[in-house]
């Protein structure tokens, strides 16, 4: 049986500017995931540095920070069985040119640096909690049960 978990997802500034927030939310809801937190926000440089800390020594770090702080984002927390793995598969490859059709990046992404969406790394067990904690306080997350949940999971 799959693990029930929460995962962090963000529609990046390019996705916001292109009006894709609703499309991303619809796809995640259609998959059966439950939205438990959402925040439309502007990321400041301190939060951007914390969010991308693992890339700090890489040559593209300054570009990441510049991009993610360039416009508003939609930060969200989704819940479901294997939520992080499900979201990562739905997102597709980081480079939209290599992402499969039917994935969010394959259908909506245009460029490696403008790939619409971020999701926590499902292979890093601490990534979900770390990113959720960066963007949300506990009282900003609402646990609830969808009425059709019994039809989604065994």
Instruction: Note the pLDDT of residue 102.
Output: 98
Of 94, 119, 118, whose CA–CA distance to 106 is shortest?
Answer: 94
Tokens of 118: 């971020």
Q: What predicted TM-score, i.e. pTM, was given to this entire model?
A: 0.93
Catalytic residue among 49, 55, 118, 122: 118
Which pLDDT tens digits describe the chain residue by residue (154 residues)?
A: 456 899 999 999 999 999 999 999 999 999 999 999 999 999 999 999 999 999 999 999 999 999 999 999 999 999 999 999 999 999 999 999 999 999 999 999 999 999 999 999 988 878 999 999 999 999 999 988 888 777 877 7
Report the CATH fold assignment for 1-9+20-31+41-121. Answer: Alpha-Beta Plaits (3.30.70)
Could you state, in order of their start, the residue ranges of all structural domains in the chain?
Answer: 1-9+20-31+41-121
Instruction: Note the pLDDT of residue 98.
Output: 97
Residues 6+ apart with CB under 8 A from 146: 34, 152
Judge whether 118 counts as a catalytic residue.
Answer: yes
């Amino acid at each position: 049986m799959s693990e029930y978990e929460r995962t962090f997802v963000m529609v990046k500034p390019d996705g916001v500017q292109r009006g894709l927030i609703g499309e991303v939310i619809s796809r995640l809801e259609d998959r059966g995931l439950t939205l438990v937190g959402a925040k439309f926000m502007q990321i400041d440089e301190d939060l951007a540095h914390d969010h991308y800390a693992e890339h700090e020594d890489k040559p593209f770090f300054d570009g990441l920070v510049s991009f993610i702080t360039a416009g508003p984002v939609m930060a969200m927390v989704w819940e479901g069985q294997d939520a992080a793995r499900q979201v990562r598969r739905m997102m597709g490859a980081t480079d939209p040119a290599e992402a499969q059709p039917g994935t969010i990046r394959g259908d909506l992404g245009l460029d490696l640096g403008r790939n619409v969406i971020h999701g926590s790394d499902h292979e890093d067990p601490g990534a979900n909690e770390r990113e959720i904690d960066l963007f949300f306080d506990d009282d900003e997350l609402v646990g609830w049960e969808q009425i059709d949940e019994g039809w989604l999971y065994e």
